[in-house]
Chains A and B, each alone.
Chain A
Amino acid sequence: MDNREPAIIRLEKVNMIYPSGTVALRNCSLEIEKGEFAFIVGSSGSGKSTLIKTLLGEVSTTSGCVEVAGRNLSEMTRKQLPYYRRKLGVVFQEFRLLDELTVFENVALAQRVVGVSRERRRRNSMAVLDLVGLAQKKKAYPRELSGGEQQRAAIARAMVNKPAILLADEPTGNLDPENSWEIMGLLEDVHQLGTTVLVVTHNDDIVNKMQKRVIALHKGQIINDEQQGGYVQ
């Protein structure tokens, strides 16, 4: 008998075709265990972002089965979607912070969305800003921060609701090497705290040095999947 916990993310023969006719995911099957850290690599247009969007419920699959945290995404209603998304944290290349809100307010907004009371909002937001090392800059606006700091604020926002899974789509794409390493270090910290982390990246140096699982996509297909792998072109 197999007494492992079921995979927290499971794709089975997933096809995703955009209305334009582009096949973005082709017969993808994939299992990611709870608490894993995995990189997703592949050239531009290989379907990495589409995979992330599929997991977020932003796009729906054309065929196949996607299960995340025990939920079958194709059976989910529009009403259930927001509650499902609260189990996920998400980080983007362009940070996507709200310009007219301070760092603290950006983080607290994620808690407000979920309906956390004011006092707990403040406490949780401060705790997670401490974790990412931005407590000093909580009153700053995004335009007053460096790229690395903005991405840390974005990670704080993604983590404040204590999601089971953190999805990062090219989180270091707009950062210099030094800041990229800092952000990767932070994602590794988040992983150490027990979160399942999935990172899309183009950064071969980081992938090669971190010795994590690497899932490689090419034209929508998974062409390689190794534990402790290196960057696949």
Chain B
Amino acid sequence: MSTIWYGLKQGVKSIFQNKIFSLAAIGTITACLFLLGVFYVLFSNFQHMVHNAESTVAIVVFFEESLSQDRIDEIGRQIQACHPVEKVEFVSGGEAWERFKQEMLGSDQELIDTFGSDNPLAASASYEVYLNDVSKQAEMVEYIRGLSGVRKVNGSANTADSFSSFNMLIGYVSISIIALLLLVSIFLISSAVAMGINVRKDEIAIMKLIGATDLFVRLPFLVEGVTMGLIGAGIPLGILRLMYGQVIVFIRAHFANLTEWLTFVEAEKEFQVLVPLCLGVGIGIGLLGSATSVRKHLQV
């Protein structure tokens, strides 16, 4: 108990004793975890939007004229059997006309009347195919085109592809930058701790001679590292928490025409992951950095 308390006090004291290195280390961890946080927020929101989009983007399948209902049913079953398919909906010619009237002609009763009781879309029965993985769309479109009796397949392949490749790009860029900053953070923490060890060399030698255990001697330095890691995690978490709501408000205000697409993850949900993630990485960096130095410089 006494050992732990002593370790805590000495460790925190040590941070103030070599301010410059400690500040550099904390600053780098802050930058690193801030980027990690930003990338995570971007990524999770993109995932969220893509997922939303996935449920609205559908492949539409039209049939050759006068295809038998039996064959249409069979095509439906074949599509349904495919792995990425979430659901297949049949839209009869009648339904298609009703929808068209509602969406395109609106309340223009006069215009609707000109069609009388004719249904110009009578032969436009179709399947709407919803996927659970939007990146498989091109493949599915290709497959459905190959089925006999299919006349035309509409898919919004471009949207889907650009979503996925953008995700990948963010992923690669963020992973490399974060990895680089992680390494720099570990290096800086271990330097800060090494400075502390050097400053307190005589003290350490004396403590060992009067019977201090390895743990007693090392604990302050490990505490120093972990504390820097925690401070470096707390700052970006605070900033991200303050910014998150405001950025969403800003985006909603400036891209009002895209509101249908711009759906965001709630802050609480985001921080349920971010808080343990950042604290965990912070503690990890701190421990790793200080342990490296302690191993290297405290082998007496």
Contacts and interface: CB of A to CB of B under 8 A. Distances in A.
Interface of A: 56, 58, 78-79, 82-86, 90, 96, 98, 109-110, 112-118, 157-158, 161
A90 B209 contact: yes
Given A82-B212, A82-B213, A113 B202 contact: no
A173 B212 CA distance: 27
Contact of B211 (A114, A117, A118): A114
Nearest to A118: B2
B212 A113 contact: yes
Nearest to B3: A115
Contacts of B249: none
Given A96-B206, A98-B206, A109-B207, A117 B2 contact: yes
A115 B211 CA distance: 11
A85 B6 contact: no
24 contacts: A56-B209, A82-B208, A82-B211, A82-B212, A82-B214, A82-B216, A83-B211, A85-B210, A85-B211, A86-B211, A90-B209, A96-B206, A98-B206, A110-B211, A112-B6, A113-B207, A113-B210, A113-B216, A114-B211, A115-B2, A115-B3, A117-B2, A157-B210, A161-B210
Interface of B: 2-3, 6, 202-203, 205-214, 216
A157 B212 CA distance: 14
B203 A113 contact: no
Main SS at interface, chain B: helix
Given A84-B211, A98-B202, 15 more contacts: A58-B209, A79-B214, A82-B208, A82-B211, A82-B212, A82-B214, A85-B208, A90-B209, A96-B205, A96-B206, A110-B210, A110-B211, A113-B212, A113-B216, A117-B2
A85 B209 contact: yes
Contacts of B212: 82, 113
A25 B206 CA distance: 24
Contact of A161 (B205, B211, B216): B211
Closest 9 CB pairs of A and B: A86-B211, A85-B211, A113-B212, A82-B213, A82-B211, A110-B210, A96-B206, A98-B203, A113-B210
